[in-house]
C-alpha cells in the first residue's frame, strides 16, 4: 500500500466509523482506482455491502480481498456472517472455523461459531465456543446467545444467570430481560417473570412480544383482567400476533365473556391458517 492509498483508506475508515457511508465508499473506491488489488479497501467495501443486505456481493468482494491477502480472519468471519444471513449454517460454520485457524484469539468468530453450532443443534459444542468468546471479550450479546443455548438445553437456572449478566453489561438492552422472563416462566417462576417483562417494557415499550409475555404471566398468576389488557396492547402493536389472540381468548373466557372469547380464538385460527405453508401439489 502506498502512502497515498494508506491516507485514502484512513479517510474512508474515519467516515465509516462516523456512519458517513457514502463518503467512506468514495474513499475506498479511490483506493481501488490507484490499486485494484488493495485487500483492505475490498474488505471494507464488502462490509458495507453486507450491512446493506447485499450478502452475495459482500461474499464475492471478501473472497476477492482474500485472493490478495489470504490469511484475513476478519474476511473469513464476514463471509461466514453473510452465509448465515443467507441461511447456510453449515457453510457459515466452516468459514468461522477458518477464521479461527487464522486467528485463535478472534472473540467475534468464536461467538459466531457458537451461534451456528447452536442453530445446528450442537449445543454442547456451542457452549464451549461461547465460553472461549467470553473469556476473550465478555459482551452482553454473547451472554444473551449463551443463555438462549442453555435454555434450549433445559438448563434454565444457568440460562437465567447468563441473561442477568447480559443485562449487567448493557443495562439499556431490553432483550436480556425478555429472554430472562421467558426462562423464568418456563421454570414456573411467574412473579419474577412478570417483573422481568416489566423491566423489558420500561426499556422498549413498543415491543409487542413483551406485552404478550406480560399478559401470559398475569394470566398464570390468576389476574385475567390485567392479562386481557396486556394482550390487547400487544395486538394494538402487532395484530398478526397469533398467540396474543389466543391469550386474549383465554382471558375473556376466564372473565365469562364466552362469545368474545370465541371470536378471538377464531381470529387466531384464521391468522394461523394464513401463515401456514401451502400443502404440496
For residue range 24-56, what is the model confidence (pLDDT) as tens digits? 999 999 999 999 999 999 999 999 999 999 999
Asked, for residue 143, whether it belongs to a domain, the answer is no
Q: What is the pLDDT of residue 171?
A: 96
Asked, for residue 255, whether it belongs to a domain, the answer is no
Give the count of alpha carbons within 13 A of 243, CB side only. 11
User: DSSP for 69-91?
Assistant: STT-HHHHHHHHHHHHHTT-HHH
User: Among residues 159, 146, 170, which one has the least CA distance to residue 193?
Assistant: 159
How sure is the predictor about 2, in pLDDT bands with cuts at 50, 70 and 90?
Answer: low
Mean pLDDT of 155-170: 98
Asked, for residue 81, whether it belongs to a domain, the answer is no
Helix %, strand %, coil % of the chain (to 5): 80, 0, 20
How sure is the predictor about 4, in pLDDT bands with cuts at 50, 70 and 90?
Answer: confident
Residue 278 scores a pLDDT above 60: no
The whole domain housing 66 covers 1-70
The cell for 16 is 465509516
How many domains does the structure of the chain reveal? 1
CB atoms within 10 A of CB 108: 20
Asked, for residue 179, whether it belongs to a domain, the answer is no
Helix (H) or strand (E) holding 98: helix 89-102
Q: What is the pLDDT of residue 186?
A: 96
Residue 3 scores a pLDDT above 70: no
- Its sign, for the CA torsion 171, 174, 177, 179, is negative
CATH number reported for the structural domain that contains residue 20 in this entry? 1.25.40.10
Q: How far apart are CA 27 and CA 10, in angstroms?
A: 9
The cell for 213 is 409475555
Asked, for residue 5, whether it belongs to a domain, the answer is yes
Mean pLDDT of 124-134: 97
Residue 281 scores a pLDDT above 60: no
pLDDT over 70 for what percent of the chain? 97
Asked, for residue 144, whether it belongs to a domain, the answer is no
Asked, for residue 46, whether it belongs to a domain, the answer is yes
Asked, for residue 14, whether it belongs to a domain, the answer is yes
SS3 50: helix
How sure is the predictor about 176, in pLDDT bands with cuts at 50, 70 and 90?
Answer: very high
Q: What is the pLDDT of residue 102?
A: 97
Mean pLDDT of 236-244: 96
User: Among residues 171, 99, 103, 97, which one has the least CA distance to residue 136?
Assistant: 103
Amino acid at each position: 500500500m502506498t502512502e497515498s492509498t494508506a491516507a485514502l483508506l484512513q479517510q474512508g475508515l474515519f467516515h465509516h466509523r462516523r456512519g458517513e457511508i457514502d463518503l467512506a465508499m468514495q474513499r475506498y473506491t479511490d483506493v481501488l482506482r490507484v490499486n485494484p488489488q488493495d485487500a483492505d479497501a475490498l474488505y471494507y467495501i464488502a462490509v458495507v455491502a453486507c450491512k446493506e443486505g447485499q450478502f452475495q456481493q459482500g461474499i464475492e468482494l471478501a473472497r476477492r480481498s482474500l485472493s490478495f491477502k489470504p490469511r484475513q480472519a476478519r474476511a473469513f468471519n464476514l463471509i461466514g456472517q453473510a452465509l448465515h444471513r443467507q441461511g447456510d449454517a453449515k457453510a457459515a460454520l466452516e468459514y468461522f472455523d477458518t477464521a479461527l485457524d487464522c486467528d485463535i484469539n478472534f472473540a467475534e468468530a468464536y461467538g459466531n461459531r457458537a451461534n451456528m453450532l447452536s442453530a445446528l443443534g450442537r449445543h454442547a459444542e456451542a457452549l464451549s465456543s461461547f465460553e472461549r468468546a467470553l473469556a476473550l471479550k465478555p459482551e452482553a450479546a454473547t451472554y444473551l446467545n449463551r443463555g438462549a443455548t442453555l435454555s434450549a438445553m433445559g438448563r434454565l437456572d444457568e440460562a437465567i444467570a447468563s441473561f442477568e449478566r447480559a443485562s449487567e453489561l448493557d443495562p439499556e438492552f431490553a432483550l436480556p430481560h425478555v429472554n430472562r422472563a421467558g426462562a423464568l416462566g418456563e421454570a414456573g417462576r411467574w412473579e419474577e417473570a412478570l417483573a422481568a417483562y416489566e423491566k423489558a417494557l420500561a426499556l422498549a415499550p413498543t415491543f409487542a412480544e413483551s406485552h404478550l409475555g406480560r399478559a401470559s404471566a398475569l394470566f398464570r398468576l390468576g389476574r385475567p383482567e390485567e392479562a386481557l389488557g396486556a394482550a390487547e396492547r400487544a395486538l394494538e402493536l402487532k395484530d398478526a400476533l397469533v398467540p396474543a389472540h389466543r391469550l386474549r381468548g383465554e382471558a375473556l373466557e376466564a372473565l365469562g365473556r364466552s362469545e368474545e372469547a370465541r371470536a378471538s380464538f377464531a381470529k387466531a385460527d384464521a391468522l394461523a391458517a394464513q401463515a401456514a405453508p401451502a400443502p404440496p401439489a
